[in-house]
Structure 1
Amino acid sequence: MKTKQLYTAALAALFASSSAFAVIGPIKITLNPTELSSNYFNEDDTSAPFASEVYTLDDIKNSNVTNIYDFLSQNTSLSLAASSGNRFSKKISARGYGLTIGSHNLVVTLNGRRLNNIDTSGPDIAGVNINDIERIEITKGTGSVIYGDSAMAGAIHFYTKKNSETKVSTSFGNYGVSQTSASFGINDEKIDLNVSMDSHKHDGFHKAATGGVKDKGEQTKSNIGGTYTTVGGTEISLDLYRTNSDIRYPNYLSDAQFEADPTGNGTGARYTYRDAESSTTNFKIKRNWGENFEFTTNRSATDKESKNYYSYSGATVDNYKYDYNSNDYLLTYTNGDIKIDSGINMFDGKRKVESTSATSRNTTSKENFGVFSQLQYFSNDSVFTIGARSEKVDYKYSPDSGTALSGEYDLNAFDIGINTSLSPNTTIFTNYNHAFQAPLIDRFFISAAWPATGQVFNGFVKPSKSRTFNVGLNHLTDNSKTKVTLYRSNVKDEMFLCKSNAASDCGYFGDNLNLDKSHKQGLELQNKYVFSPKWSTDLNYAYTIAKIDSDDKGAGALNGKTNPMTSKHNISASVIYSFSNKANMTLTQKYRSEAFAEEDYANIFTKKQPEYNSTNFNLSYNPNDDLSFSLDVENLFENSYGTRLRDNVIYPDNSTRNIKAGLTYKF
């Protein structure tokens, strides 16, 4: 009954104001339709035949955040939490897949280049410099035809801007927080050159470990890129990215320790330490073939290395080396109202484990080869799309000692959608999507007597498949923009780590298995409203139900249970007040309701994952076009939050009030 009431209220909100074309008010809040580049749509978001969230450069500036994770957490329908306490690497969830495995079911791209990893470490979002971003697009319940593997919940896309000025920013805060960013650009008719760097560090938010070392961290990001346009209009681009991280992050706490002091160290043991670096080269050529064809080729190579020192492992050090190579080819045909995008995606990823534990040393590879085609047809006030994809995934496992193994999957995706206008300012869309997720390489391992004997190979688990149905409305008025979507996803063979506390016949350290059948359903609502030249609001709400329908582990012990780490309510609400053309204030409230703990697939633990509640305040002042000042207060009321694995095991996240002042100057 409550669900029906929420759906009815959301639909009624769409038509609460008079119909007219939306405009941008004096406060920079994006109301007008915005072009979408994801799924190669290249039309306005309100005419897209799929669900989307779009955030422009003005939206990013208004948020006044200094890193990409904070923007996604405070402004979007996504759920985020630090990964095992690591603030520089966060778990992400969308559409009911939960913070446990949510990032495995999302594709993340930067200018079309995938940032996903072949293991469960999650996409490399931390390497994205928010100061370089012009637009963020989140497509939900679609994208499997274009992006293939892992686009079950949808995709997150970052698009960079062209720097045409020299800009330097610096900020300082409590807990030793400091951040320095600089960018430089040259843009003319033939050559575009962009250079940027960002350095972020803190001295630690928790009590020092034995020996006096705190959970401090530092990360630097740099990028240099250029585009040359020939006389014939061919664009040739080369981008170089580099990221370095030196991070210590907290160990888990018991319930009593967390309740007494969420910034404590617990046992006093040393903090987990991660030393990592990554470099990527991306080469792209785009050219026209006659009047109707455009051909794009995009090649990238990434080398990464991560050294990990754990509090529990003594002298054991795990060194992970990654080698990724991808080649993408796209041919676009346009003729009047018809547009056809066809392409080939090739990816070759390897991870080599060099550990002081001999049983952990191995090289595991994952290769993807996908072919797709998508048709878009525009007719009067309607847009119709249909597409299909075929993808082959190959795996190889080569331990330093033991038997080498291999396996492969042949997978398919399908998508069909339509958007039509009900009036000059109201559109309705519906979309059906069939997607898949091939197993990440960590799914092929179990921990036998971990950590003493390292990990051993576990064979191949099944790929996951989903069928998602979306229906939604977009509505514009003189002072508001509203989007609402209802969806249902039926999932087969959803992958999960089954432990003995969930099913009696699973191992204590966990077996990577599949849930037979599960489903996700919910409502997503976005509303931006300009009350006056001084006041505006931004609301983003997601209502989610995620259930396990049937599974044969533990004699059906998981049947009908709720997926862990999936909050029913996720709300982000902002109020923006403009004192003048030079001064603005933003107050943001982020709330996520409680959920079942990360390992609690059987829904039997005594305690649940706590709710997330954070109030953030920002004040900005721009005395002129070249200078700006900002004051930020994060977690104003010092609400404590942590990620609960099970009873008496919780990884602390943000529990402090963080204050920061910043300055930006354009030369």
Structure 2
Amino acid sequence: MIAKGFKGKYFSLAAIVATVSMANLQATASTVMQKEHELAKEKSKEKTAKDESSTIELDNIVVEAEGIKSYELRAGSNYEVYTSKDIENSKSIDLIDFLNRYTSVNISSTYGNIFTPKIDIHGFGLSSGFENVVILIDGKRINNIDLLPPLLSSIPLESVEKIEILKGSGSVIYGDGSTAGVINIKTKPSEGFNYKIFKGNYKTLGTTFSGGISGEGAFGYFYIDSYRSKGFREITADIPESREKKISSLFDITFFPNDDIDFTIQATNSKIKNYYANSLTKDQFEDDPKQEGNPNWAGYTYNYQIIKDRTVSFDLNYKINSNFKINLSHSKTDRFSEYVLSNYISRYDYKQYDLKLNYENGGFDWIFGVSKFDGDRENISNTTSKNSYDYYMNLSNIFEKHKLSLGYRRGKVEYKYDPNNGNDLSDSNSNHSITLGYNYQISNNSSFYANFTRAYQFPDIDRFFSYDFFTNSFVFNNFIDTMITKTYTIGFNKITKDQKLKISAFYIDVKNEIYYNPATYTNTNLDKTEKKGIDLEYRKKINGYLTGNLFYTYLIAKTKEDDIKDYEDKNLPGVAKHNITLSLNFKYNRFYTNISHIYRSSMYALDDFKNSFKQKQKPYNSTDISLGYELKKNFEIFAKMDNIFNYKNGVWIKDDVIYPENCVRRYYIGIKGNF
């Protein structure tokens, strides 16, 4: 069934675009693709001819987060793209460190838990912004069906080939939960044996080992990644010395019997044990942010969580002919989470199924896909599920300097609550996404684009069901609805061999933004909210040895209308107006250094929807430096120091409820290499 208002308004537009595209395709496709290939060849020549001392790539990179491959310059959406060379030059310790310090993404620990960070893009807030961002590892979602943030720490940075951050778009391909955008992480199996070992203060030790081997018609790859640390917070209880502990592994084998087929089997496994201290008052925080937290209702000054995650996936790619490609994928995830002190255990069972058909012919590309997701969470009293079924299509057509894109997705979700007492609850809902994009190539190195995206977020199971204390049972949460966003973006890109400039302005109109109301202890909706701002990305190759990067986001997020009048015309909490990331990379022969600074302006505490708390979150500052020296081609030593000036950073939940974060000086020294 087509949604009300869609059939007349959008379906006719799709028909017009498709008809015009096919009528002009034969006349323009050959010329367009010839120019595209010539541009790619020129870029390849420039890359080869670069001085080896260059520290960042400024090439016109191919992006693929929206399903159809396109050069970065020709994309009709707001993209940030980072290659393996960008990642290597950042000298980050792990993936979370890189995203936090070298991109526009706002990341914070979850009440002190560093392994499952909270994520915000475009002002959906640190409290629950992670629910508005779809995070993909090689095309597989790692988001949860409840309020447990994604396990980003499970992926070693050394295995990452490319990171694409798609802001304000992506909902046609990825559906539910991509209202703010998508973080698409692509890994890179490599041959040989690679290692990284580092030590740091607070008894920190990290190791990564990986290796790959190829044979006739097959390639195998593995990694083992571990991390442990005492952490900088004090906990006087009798607990293990390694309070923050993680180990992850991957085994991957790909078969390619011929040039048209490849089949991949992959298994990943992660285990995390994390003791993290409770909150402090403002006086305690200012006196010593490392001190022990305040006791909770049960008398504990800390939390202890165990997470186990195991995923097995299968991918088949088949090139039917020169125009058609088909992809089949399936993954199964078993996840376990236990808050040990409260004996709260959850077991998750996720199954993902995806079928995609790609067609490429000159300047005309389209993708059609269907997907299915089955998610169950089981605990001591019930099993709750959130299952979805979706189909989508995305079209892209190039007419000389013009590029048009159009996409549509229809999604349906089914909820089921199955308690041990047999009082089942079930419900379903459906919604749709739309994307309209336009790109005009002004010259060989500059372009203008405009984009409109309609997206939706179905409530997760923690918000959709609530506990009725009068009946002593769970019921449907009648205070909550599906969130709808309409995002408008215009932008300008300029990419040359010496600089990359991207600037865009965006406006997001939100209906039924989902949030937790701390005053009434309910999950509900804000009737109407808005987010608007400017994104700026500027990278400059200053000379053969020095490059600089600047990322700046100006952002205003406010409520427009709400039944609770005290919440109208207020700044949304957990959102900084100014976000700045600066870095300088210097490389000469075998020596390199990287200096960076991150700044986020003050913001309202995460629970302060009335903007009435006495305490606001202080500005966030951190200056970091890394040094390295390549002793020989395949071996280097490195050192890194975070928060050089010992800024006291923290996350304010409410008055006198502060979780210290990156508020001490930390250093690391290590070696890395391959053979």
Could you state the TM-score of these two structures normalised by the residue count of structure 1? 0.91
1:336 to 347, 353, 362: 362
1:543 to 554, 559, 562: 554
Cα distance in 2 between the residues matched to 1:189 and 1:640: 55
Cα distance in 1 between the residues matched to 2:644 and 2:233: 18
- Give yes or no for contact 1:344–1:370 (8 Å, CA) kept in 2: yes
Cα distance in 1 between the residues matched to 2:108 and 2:474: 26
2:325 to 294, 300, 315: 294
Cα distance in 1 between the residues matched to 2:195 and 2:97: 20
Cα distance in 1 between the residues matched to 2:294 and 2:558: 37
- State the partner residue of 2:190: 163
Cα distance in 2 between the residues matched to 1:156 and 1:388: 20
Aligned partner of residue 101 in structure 2, secondary structure = helix
What is the deviation of 1:286?
0.8
What is the deviation of 1:76?
0.6
Cα distance in 1 between the residues matched to 2:329 and 2:485: 28
- State the partner residue of 1:440: 460
1:71 counterpart = 2:102: no
- State the partner residue of 2:134: 107
Alignment of 1:383-398 (within 5 A): 383-398=403-418
- State the partner residue of 1:218: 245
- State the partner residue of 1:569: 578
What is the deviation of 1:456?
6.9
- State the partner residue of 2:77: 50
1:381 counterpart = 2:401: yes
1:126 counterpart = 2:153: yes
What is the deviation of 1:662?
0.8
What is the deviation of 1:168?
1.4
- State the partner residue of 2:24: none
What is the deviation of 1:204?
2.4
Cα distance in 1 between the residues matched to 2:276 and 2:232: 9
- Give yes or no for contact 1:372–1:388 (8 Å, CA) kept in 2: yes
1:350 counterpart = 2:369: no
Cα distance in 2 between the residues matched to 1:659 and 1:448: 49
1:256 counterpart = 2:283: yes
1:239 counterpart = 2:270: no
- State the partner residue of 1:34: 61
2:613 to 605, 615, 619: 605
- State the partner residue of 1:587: 595
Alignment of 1:85-484 (within 5 A): 85-187=112-214, 190-211=217-238, 216-231=243-258, 233-267=260-294, 269-310=300-341, 316-354=342-380, 361-401=381-421, 403-446=423-466, 458-459=477-478, 461-484=480-503
What is the deviation of 1:445?
4.3
Cα distance in 2 between the residues matched to 1:252 and 1:639: 18
What is the deviation of 1:634?
0.7
Cα distance in 2 between the residues matched to 1:458 and 1:434: 25
Aligned partner of residue 420 in structure 1, secondary structure = strand
What is the deviation of 1:336?
2.4
- Give yes or no for contact 2:160–2:186 (8 Å, CA) kept in 1: yes
- State the partner residue of 1:637: 645
What is the deviation of 1:212?
6.4
The 1:99–1:293 alpha-carbon spacing in structure 2 relative to 1, beyond 3 Å, is same
What is the deviation of 1:449?
7.6
Cα distance in 2 between the residues matched to 1:102 and 1:185: 37
1:557 to 563, 566, 569: 566
The 1:448–1:615 alpha-carbon spacing in structure 2 relative to 1, beyond 3 Å, is farther
The 1:237–1:266 alpha-carbon spacing in structure 2 relative to 1, beyond 3 Å, is closer
Aligned partner of residue 257 in structure 1, secondary structure = helix
Indicate the RMSD between aligned Cα atoms, in angstroms. Answer: 1.9
Cα distance in 2 between the residues matched to 1:215 and 1:290: 54
- Give yes or no for contact 1:257–1:266 (8 Å, CA) kept in 2: no
Cα distance in 2 between the residues matched to 1:636 and 1:614: 7
1:485 counterpart = 2:504: yes
1:666 counterpart = 2:641: no
- Give yes or no for contact 1:544–1:567 (8 Å, CA) kept in 2: yes
Cα distance in 1 between the residues matched to 2:434 and 2:216: 40
Cα distance in 2 between the residues matched to 1:111 and 1:224: 14
- Give yes or no for contact 2:156–2:208 (8 Å, CA) kept in 1: no
Cα distance in 2 between the residues matched to 1:655 and 1:289: 55
What is the deviation of 1:382?
2.4
Cα distance in 1 between the residues matched to 2:370 and 2:244: 40
Cα distance in 2 between the residues matched to 1:204 and 1:600: 29
Q: Deviations over 1:548-595 (max 9, x none)?
A: 000002xx11111011000001111001122x2200111010111111
Q: Which amino acid aligns with 2:201?
A: N
What is the deviation of 1:215?
7.8
Aligned partner of residue 602 in structure 1, secondary structure = coil
- State the partner residue of 1:650: 658
5+ long unaligned stretches in structure 1: 1-19, 311-315, 355-360, 501-506
Greater alpha carbon shift after TM alignment, 214-223 vs 118-127: 214-223
Aligned partner of residue 177 in structure 2, secondary structure = coil
Aligned partner of residue 104 in structure 1, secondary structure = helix
- Give yes or no for contact 2:59–2:497 (8 Å, CA) kept in 1: no
Aligned partner of residue 87 in structure 2, secondary structure = helix
1:521 to 532, 545, 550: 532
Q: Identity, % of aligned pairs? A: 31
What is the deviation of 1:380?
1.5
Aligned partner of residue 38 in structure 1, secondary structure = coil
5+ long unaligned stretches in structure 2: 1-41
- Give yes or no for contact 1:636–1:657 (8 Å, CA) kept in 2: yes
- Give yes or no for contact 1:204–1:214 (8 Å, CA) kept in 2: no
Q: Deviations over 1:180-200 (max 9, x none)?
A: 110101235621211111000
Q: Which amino acid aligns with 2:607?
A: E
In the comparison of the two structures, how many residue pairs are matched?
Answer: 624
Cα distance in 1 between the residues matched to 2:111 and 2:476: 24
Aligned partner of residue 191 in structure 2, secondary structure = coil
Q: Which amino acid aligns with 1:185?
A: G
The 1:305–1:34 alpha-carbon spacing in structure 2 relative to 1, beyond 3 Å, is same
Cα distance in 1 between the residues matched to 2:614 and 2:391: 48
Could you state the TM-score of these two structures normalised by the residue count of structure 2? 0.90
Aligned partner of residue 120 in structure 1, secondary structure = coil
Cα distance in 2 between the residues matched to 1:413 and 1:473: 25
Q: Deviations over 1:54-105 (max 9, x none)?
A: 0001000001112110000001111011101111121000001111111000
Aligned partner of residue 439 in structure 1, secondary structure = coil
The 1:267–1:566 alpha-carbon spacing in structure 2 relative to 1, beyond 3 Å, is closer
Q: Which amino acid aligns with 1:468?
A: T
Q: Deviations over 1:379-398 (max 9, x none)?
A: 22222110100000000011
Cα distance in 1 between the residues matched to 2:214 and 2:504: 40
- Give yes or no for contact 1:616–1:636 (8 Å, CA) kept in 2: yes
Q: Which amino acid aligns with 2:502?
A: K
Q: Which amino acid aligns with 2:323?
A: N
Aligned partner of residue 538 in structure 1, secondary structure = strand
Greater alpha carbon shift after TM alignment, 23-32 vs 275-284: 23-32
Aligned partner of residue 184 in structure 1, secondary structure = strand
